[in-house]
Every structure is written in structure tokens, then in C-alpha cells.
Structure 1
């Protein structure tokens, strides 16, 4: 349990209360409690009694206590049971907040996107006070756009489903091996559905146990070795479970990981060796079926090194075998250059983040709390930033096994100025510049803002350069090629933000960065200790662009990084 989980739960309760039409003061109490926690610079472990914090009353305090004791909130569970499920997705529509949705539900009985769409068509919405014809047209337009979006799930949504299913499979003793396959295993930004390969000698029993353990909304198909179900997590998602004999696990995993083009290329290679690949094994020239204990052994059988799932995309990966040893791997990562603490909007204290990075045996790390413009994230004023800088200098004397760089994630403001003056920036070790506001500005203005940061001699890196959220928003539409040319000209690093919400830069732009020899940093942007783990997703995303470790600055030894920053 950490502050972030409690804050998110309190905010979620407030949202559900709003959708239910609860007393506004009650809703406000939960939002105030969340804000009180957000603004307190201490982590949960540093507080004697979080429920005594100013801004937290008895009701919100009871919720926090229950969360800390059990990891659950009965208040939230009751609200989720009472509020129609169809109302929550309506929050994704621009211009519709909790109050308006609650009004539509209370006055017109609208409890789903379908009902809302029909009400717009029937022109019943415009008759409600506070709406009108323009609001109705805008809602209908938003609904039409929402319906036209491809039916794919972003990786940050599917990872919850994968984690839950992994836990279920881990606890079924009849399962000897299991793995997610398909596009998720290849670290695609989005997936249409999920595929799991499950090795077992008792498929019928495992199938029953799986169906009993998961929140199944419907069964699409059910056979002896395959079951396809729709499971309700954040959103409903289709999942295929393929139950295979233990000896068939490796070839089934390879086959259903794909991609289609990769499998075609491998079948062609097998054919040239008088062999035939199927999901059950490899048929030899003499007609016998060969199975394998690992994918490494499978590829070796065809005279190939192990090809990571992340690069099994277009079939050309077998022609780039000589590049595989140069690919960045998680073992190459020596530090993380972007993370937040409780000083801004993080869940853990400075010391807790340091200890978490030390446990990963990192050589270095950078603390980059938000700057003052981002008030919603409790951004640091110059005075608070310099105080933190001083604290980091003292801590560096204490810790001998890791170098702690002092830094900031500084906003590039809408007027194309920077959030801190140079006399502040020059006192820091590492300065990140990023855009968090006014996404709707014309591209020319966005690029003017970017150029300001590029030209500043104290800025080292541009974070999440396009501002995209996978499957949710496209960002602020910069001219990325021009941005990379400036990065090359002014000696800046561009970020691959490893958060599954962002994965920014996208693959095609990472390829472009490498071609232009622009250095890339793979960072977690962690706002809590557990988020440091997304580094692995970021590395696999980088592999999809065939990023070489020499081009990734946080694979460099400490002295090389220091020399680069000084330059």
C-alpha cells in the first residue's frame, strides 16, 4: 500500500458518488482528502497516522484505514455495485463530467453509450436544463468518434488482465508452464485480444478451474484444448486459452506469439531444411516430431540465435541476426533518469526511491520532481527545488554505491518560456524539459516551445516528446523529424518514456532517432517504487525499433554519462 493507491481510491470513490448523485459536500470530502495526501511531502511510511492529517475526516479516514488493513475499500465496492457499469465509460467523452452524467441518468434514465446516443438522435438531451442543441450535437459527435475507434486495447489496460491471469495460473497445480503470447508478448502498443498458452496434462480440469477463477462475462467458444472467453477487467476483453501437452508448450508458444510474417519466414526456413513447423512441434525429414525445452533450443535447431519476441514482426528479423547482440537489454540498464518523489506528486520519499534504485544495483539515478507551473502535481518552487538539491548533495556523501543526480522535470510553458530561470537550472545536474499544457496549440507554437528548450544550454533531455497516451490521445502533434534534427544540432537527449501509458517516443520515431544518431534515454517516469519495474516494458519497446545499447545513454557507465552531461 502506498499514497498513490489511496489517493486513486479516494478519487474513484468521489467519482462514483458523483455519478450516483450523492451530496456534493460528501463528494468534495473525498476529493479534499485525496488532495491533502497529494500535497503532503511525506510518504505513507513516514506518517505516524495518516488519518489525522488535516483535510481527512472520519468517513475518509475509515476508508484509508480499511485500505491499509485489507487492501480493499467496501465503500468503493458498494458504489461500484450500485452505479450502472455503462455510466463509467461515458467519462471518456469530452465535455461530460460526473455531474452531467448523473443528471442524464437521473432525469432520462441514460445508463450506457447506446442509450445516450439514442437520446441525442431523439433530441431529448437538448430539453434538459444546462444542455441545449449545441451540447447535444457535441455529445453525438463525440459518441460517433468513440464508436469509430479501433477495437484494440492499450497495453496499460491489458497488463492488469495479464497480471491477474498469471496469478490464477500460478496457483493451479495442474499447470506446469504458462505464458501470455500474441501481440502483448511482442510488446505491441495495443492488442485486439489476449492469448495464453497453458501446459497441462489435465486440460479439462484446468479449463474448469480457469473459468471459475476469472470474472467471465461470456463464453465465445469452448473445446477440449481451447477456450475463448470475454473477461471483465477495466473493460471487457476477449481471451483465448490454449491448453497444450507439456512437451508441445515451446512450439505452441512460438507459434501463437507470432507475428504472422515471422511465422511465415520461419516456415520457409524450415522447408529449406526439409522440416515442417507446426504448433505441435517440428516434423523432421524422417517424419518424427521434434519438441523443445526452450525457445532458445527451438531457434538453435534452425541455426539461429534466440530472437526476442519484441522483434518478431515483419519477417526481416532473420536477416538482421548480426544486430541482435547490439540490441539494448534490461541487463544493460545502469540507471533511471526520470522519477518523482513525495516532494511533488510521487508516492515515495526521496530516500525510499534511492533505496529502491540501489536494490536494482543501478550505478546512478536522477530525481526529477515537477516544476512550479504544474500546481496540480504540487510542483516545486525555486526555493523548494534548491532545498531538495542541497539534500541530494548531502545524501550523495552518505551513499557510496550509487550516484544521485539532482534534477527537475521543468515545464515548457504555453508562451514558449521555461518554468525556471537559468540561475536555478545551472545548479542542477540534470534538467528535463517537457510539455504538460495547451496541447491544442497549432504545431508552429508547439515547435516554438520545443525550440526554446532545445536552445537552452542547461536542458539535457526532452521528456515524452509527443505527449501521447497509448489508445487515448495522440498528443500535441510536434514535427518529430524537426525535433530530432534540433536534438542532434543542440546535443539533447530524447526520451523513451517506459510508462505503458506513454511508450513515447513511438517505434517509428525511435528508429528515426537512431538513424540520426540522437541519443535516447529509456526512463520509467516512476511516481512510486513499483513503477520502476516498467523499465522492462520500455526496453522491449526500444527493441522493437532495434535500438542499440550504445545509443541508449542510461546503459553508459557513470563516468561516460558524467562526461556527456558536462559537455
Structure 2
């Protein structure tokens, strides 16, 4: 069991405890422990092997009681306290908690006062007008919950990238352990780096498949199909996984075929037919006069598939039939940005707001990752739940930034910044004179997401045109699988950002990935500058940068489109401030 699975059990323990009305301090302790374990760079099982229970107890936020529960989980497969809670509290309420706008207190009220135990019952109660009988609920609340349920259902069966990657790692490791795989790779939407994943596709080349099929079966909670060369299973997480075994000679064509997307593959097959060829998972073949496949001319390696059609190699991230085939034919594919091109992070939180580590700790973690600079951008005061900064505390924070800079020396440049709230009327939650003294001002929307398109667009334009904003943070406000983007006019916002010299953020948090790939492409095509930042609240979150690079690559971004590919912090700031400072 890996850290993510352990954290998921602790999160469920926290959720069910809160719904059951247990001690709020205990609930907070479970949540803090879950976050600590999820972010832990070392596997818990390795910690226990090397240092025993004491090593686990010494982790901040864990302690003896929670450490004992974790050991119990690893030894028996369950936490006794969680098992007992599942007997008391309907487990279907965990799905109710996943509905936007429903927290543990509301879920508890729905259950105890209306007998609601799952999403279907919640929907029926909302349609029947029963929710409005509860304090603080009305007809408008019922409409919002019904809309949220509809969104929740649309997202069922989708997984965030880190969750999909965790399952993929387990599958690949199990196949490798058989010793029978010659070549092994993730295919499908995970290889194309889509923002959410529906199922996993794994390609293996091997001379025998029986032990590989058995290894995959052992990871599953349900077997949908199991043959000599294909396994279709449901993994313990609930994610579907297809594993295909091919011979070595078919590797390249099979990898292309099973990577997709379907739209890309259909378009490529059409191009092949126009050239008297046909493509399938076994190779590229000449077409006979009767329309059947004849001589095989390519397919051992994936680049051969494209070369046979007179195309440049198309990176997996671009294979969505959005013009990549035409660009490959014309020799005009972009030279996509790579992780190594990004030199720093311009959106980092610390314990001065809702981050979990100090400025110096975040700085040293950034140094370990090769960053040349990071911007410390804690929240402004309006976002009260984060303990955000007013102008007085902001200036106090500068002293700690200066002290941290002295401590780390020239290894990294620490930039003074803030994530300032864009208030409902478009003004900024910080006096202009304080903002003027900062290196980096990220401005973001954190409230009033339901404004109509015109109101939200005007709100964003006012902030962009204030002359105090350097970066528009997570510009659409979405939370993947949880909250849809707010309504606004991207064309007008991008035009204003370009005119004002305001960069648009690709927020690399896997819960956001905001801008999306299509909007990132539209933004740089409109002439806007982009930055890729992690919105890190813990040192390990700095590693999210790769997800932002995935989005940028899917958005056809080159190094030149992204400001924080600049290695020199002074030149970066000059470019960041250009046009409005």
C-alpha cells in the first residue's frame, strides 16, 4: 500500500468522523495527517522498515495514535476505527460530500434530519423541495445542488493525473516483476497527458504472456476479460485498465495505435488511404487493389509510422486532431517546451497564509529542484480562511524573506510577491502602494464564482487594467472534477492582458491545470505571455511543475511563450513588469 492509499483512508476517516459529529480536533488531526502522508517523499513502509513506529510518530502531525492506525492499516488492510464508522455512518454520504457546496455539516443535516444517505436520495429530496425545510436552505440552494449533482455525474469515472499515475506505477511494477516484459509503456490518454483520465492503457512486448496476465489479475477487484494477449480489469481504486501484449516487431505501430486519440487515429488512417496505405496496430502496409493489406513497410518503432506517411514525428500530447497532422506534413510542428526549460516558480505559499512550511524550507526545496528563483505569494487578507496578509503583515513578511535569502545565499533568488484577491467589483485586496513594492503580483478570483459572463469579464478586465497586476492566477477558477470554470469572455480578457502586459498563469496544481490546454493555446496565439507555476503549499508540490508543462505542451507552447523559462531573475522581472510598471 502506497502513501496515496494510506492518505485516502485517513481522509475517509476524517470525513466520516466529521459527519458523525466527533471531536473537531480529532477530525483536523486526521486531515493534517492525511496531507502529511500524501506529501511525504519517502514511502511510509520504507520509514517503518528503517526506523520502526518511532520514525512514523516523529513526523509532524502524526503522533502515536495516528501512527498506530497507519500500522494497523498496513498489517490488516483496514483501520478498526474506520470500520466502526462505516457501520455507523452510511458510506454513500462520502459521495454526497463530493457534491460542490456540500460540506460535512450539511451532509450530517441531510442524513440526520431528512434520512438522506446517498446522492440519488439527495437529488430526489432536492427535486421534491425537501431541502428547503432545513435552516439556511431555500429554493435557490436546491437548484444549485441539483446543478452540482449533474456536474458530479458527468465527472464519474474520471481521475486526476496523480491518481491515474499511482495506479499506472503499480501496474507497470507488477508486470516488470514477472521478468517477461521486453518493452513496457503507458499508452492511451495518460501518455497524451490529458488533464483527467478515464482508464489506463498499458502496452507490453513479450514472448510469453501468462505470468503478465496473472500479475494484472492479482491487482484487480474485478476481471472483465482475460485472454492470452489482453487483460481488461477494474483495479482496486475503481479505475479500468487494459493491458495488451504484442510481439516486438509490432511495438511501434501498436504504441501509436493504442496511444490515440481516436480522432487523431481516424484522421491519420484517412491520410494513409489517400497514399495507398493502411495503418493498424500491426504496422503500416501497402494497399492491394482489392483493398486488403499487402506488404508491410513500417511499424517496428513508432517514428516509422509517421515517416511512412511523409510526416514529422508528432509528440503524443498533440495527437488530438487539432491541426497536428497538417503541421507535421508542412514541417511546422512546434518545438514543445520541456520541464528543463522552466527556471523558477512564481506562485508559492508558506505558513504566512495556508502553506504548510516556512519560507526558508520552500526555498531550500526549490534549490533541490534546480530553480533559479521562486516568488513567495501568500494570500491577501480577504481570503480569511487562509490567514492571509494585510499590508502590515505583508511588510513584516519581507523581513523573513530577507532573512531566508541571507540563509540560502546565492543559490536562489527569493522574490517578494503576493496572491492578491480580485474582489467582486474587480478591485484588488491590497493598497496600491504595497503592491508597487512587490516583485511579483499574482491576482486571482477566489469568491463570487457565480457572476454572469459580463460581470465576471468586467471584473477581470478591471484587475488586469489596474496597472498593479503581473500575473492573472488560475484564470478560469475551475477545480477539476469538482467545480466548473466561471463564465467570462476569454477573447476580451486575453486582448486586455496582452495590451496591459499581464501574463496568464498555467496553474500546475493537478486539481486546477488552469489555464486548460485549449485556452493556453488560444492565449499565446492571441499574443499573451504565459507563466507555469505550481501554487505550491508544501515542498513536494513544487514537483507539480511537470503537470503544468504537460498542459503547455498540449497547448502547443514553445519555450518562448513562457516567461519563467528565463534563467536570470532580473531579466524575468523586466519582462514581467513590461507594459504596466
Aligned length: 547
Give, in whole Å, the separation in 1 of the partners of 2:541 and 2:144.
Answer: 35
The answer on 1:513 being equivalent to 2:533 is no
Partner in structure 2 of residue 316 of structure 1: 323
1:237 pairs, out of 236, 239, 247, with 239
- How far has the Cα of 1:466 moved from its partner? 1.0
- How far has the Cα of 1:539 moved from its partner? 1.6
Partner in structure 2 of residue 367 of structure 1: 376
Instruction: Indicate how the Cα distance of structure 1 residues 136 and 359 shifts in structure 2: closer, same or farther if over 3 A, else same.
Output: closer
Partner in structure 2 of residue 13 of structure 1: 13
Secondary structure at the aligned position of 1:347 is classed as coil
The answer on 1:562 being equivalent to 2:573 is yes
- How far has the Cα of 1:551 moved from its partner? 1.5
Q: Which moved more, 1:245-254 or 1:168-177?
A: 168-177
- How far has the Cα of 1:487 moved from its partner? 0.7
Partner in structure 2 of residue 213 of structure 1: 219
| CA contact 1:10–1:30 (8 Å) conserved in 2 | no
- How far has the Cα of 1:434 moved from its partner? 0.5
The answer on 1:90 being equivalent to 2:96 is yes
Instruction: Indicate how the Cα distance of structure 1 residues 5 and 200 shifts in structure 2: closer, same or farther if over 3 A, else same.
Output: closer
- How far has the Cα of 1:12 moved from its partner? 4.2
Give, in whole Å, the separation in 2 of the partners of 1:127 and 1:441.
Answer: 23
Give, in whole Å, the separation in 2 of the partners of 1:546 and 1:155.
Answer: 22
Give, in whole Å, the separation in 1 of the partners of 2:257 and 2:369.
Answer: 33
1:193 pairs, out of 191, 195, 199, with 199
Secondary structure at the aligned position of 1:320 is classed as helix
Give, in whole Å, the separation in 2 of the partners of 1:246 and 1:104.
Answer: 57
Q: Which moved more, 1:538-547 or 1:413-422?
A: 413-422
Q: Per-residue displacement from partner, 1:242-285 (whole Å, max 9, x unpaired)? A: 22234433321210111223223443555566654321233469
The answer on 1:527 being equivalent to 2:537 is yes
| CA contact 1:310–1:544 (8 Å) conserved in 2 | yes
Give, in whole Å, the separation in 2 of the partners of 1:4 and 1:166.
Answer: 17
Give, in whole Å, the separation in 1 of the partners of 2:418 and 2:306.
Answer: 45
Instruction: Indicate how the Cα distance of structure 1 residues 76 and 367 shifts in structure 2: closer, same or farther if over 3 A, else same.
Output: farther
Once the two structures are superposed, the pairs formed by residues 134-153 of structure 1 within 5 Å of their partners are: 141-142=146-147, 145-146=150-151, 149=154, 153=158
2:342 pairs, out of 323, 330, 333, with 333
Partner in structure 1 of residue 44 of structure 2: none
Partner in structure 2 of residue 282 of structure 1: 284
Give, in whole Å, the separation in 2 of the partners of 1:245 and 1:359.
Answer: 41
The answer on 1:382 being equivalent to 2:384 is no
Partner in structure 2 of residue 29 of structure 1: 25
Give, in whole Å, the separation in 2 of the partners of 1:486 and 1:272.
Answer: 44
- How far has the Cα of 1:403 moved from its partner? 2.1
| CA contact 1:17–1:79 (8 Å) conserved in 2 | no
Give, in whole Å, the separation in 1 of the partners of 2:543 and 2:40.
Answer: 20
Structure 2: stretches of 5+ with no match in the other structure: 42-53, 288-293
The answer on 1:356 being equivalent to 2:365 is yes
2:509 pairs, out of 459, 478, 499, with 499
Q: Which moved more, 1:326-335 or 1:486-495?
A: 326-335
| CA contact 1:248–1:279 (8 Å) conserved in 2 | yes
The answer on 1:477 being equivalent to 2:487 is yes
Instruction: Indicate how the Cα distance of structure 1 residues 399 and 171 shifts in structure 2: closer, same or farther if over 3 A, else same.
Output: farther
Partner in structure 1 of residue 465 of structure 2: 455
Q: TM-score, normalised by structure 1?
A: 0.82
Q: Which moved more, 1:318-327 or 1:95-104?
A: 95-104
| CA contact 2:533–2:545 (8 Å) conserved in 1 | yes
Give, in whole Å, the separation in 2 of the partners of 1:288 and 1:94.
Answer: 53
Give, in whole Å, the separation in 1 of the partners of 2:307 and 2:230.
Answer: 29
Partner in structure 1 of residue 443 of structure 2: 433
Q: Which moved more, 1:164-173 or 1:112-121?
A: 112-121
- How far has the Cα of 1:495 moved from its partner? 0.7
Once the two structures are superposed, the pairs formed by residues 153-164 of structure 1 within 5 Å of their partners are: 153-156=158-161, 158-164=164-170
Once the two structures are superposed, the pairs formed by residues 94-133 of structure 1 within 5 Å of their partners are: 94=100, 96-102=102-108, 111-116=117-122
Q: TM-score, normalised by structure 2?
A: 0.80
Partner in structure 2 of residue 173 of structure 1: 179
- How far has the Cα of 1:221 moved from its partner? 2.7
The answer on 1:466 being equivalent to 2:476 is yes
Secondary structure at the aligned position of 2:239 is classed as strand
Give, in whole Å, the separation in 1 of the partners of 2:254 and 2:545.
Answer: 28
Give, in whole Å, the separation in 1 of the partners of 2:463 and 2:376.
Answer: 19
Partner in structure 1 of residue 266 of structure 2: 264
| CA contact 2:192–2:317 (8 Å) conserved in 1 | yes
Q: Per-residue displacement from partner, 1:467-516 (whole Å, max 9, x unpaired)? A: 01223222321222111111112111111112222121123322221122
Partner in structure 2 of residue 546 of structure 1: 556
| CA contact 1:265–1:315 (8 Å) conserved in 2 | no
Q: Which has the higher contact order (CA 8 A, sep 6+)?
A: 1
Instruction: Indicate how the Cα distance of structure 1 residues 450 and 132 shifts in structure 2: closer, same or farther if over 3 A, else same.
Output: closer
**RMSD over aligned Cα atoms:** 4.1
Structure 1: stretches of 5+ with no match in the other structure: none
Give, in whole Å, the separation in 2 of the partners of 1:8 and 1:208.
Answer: 27
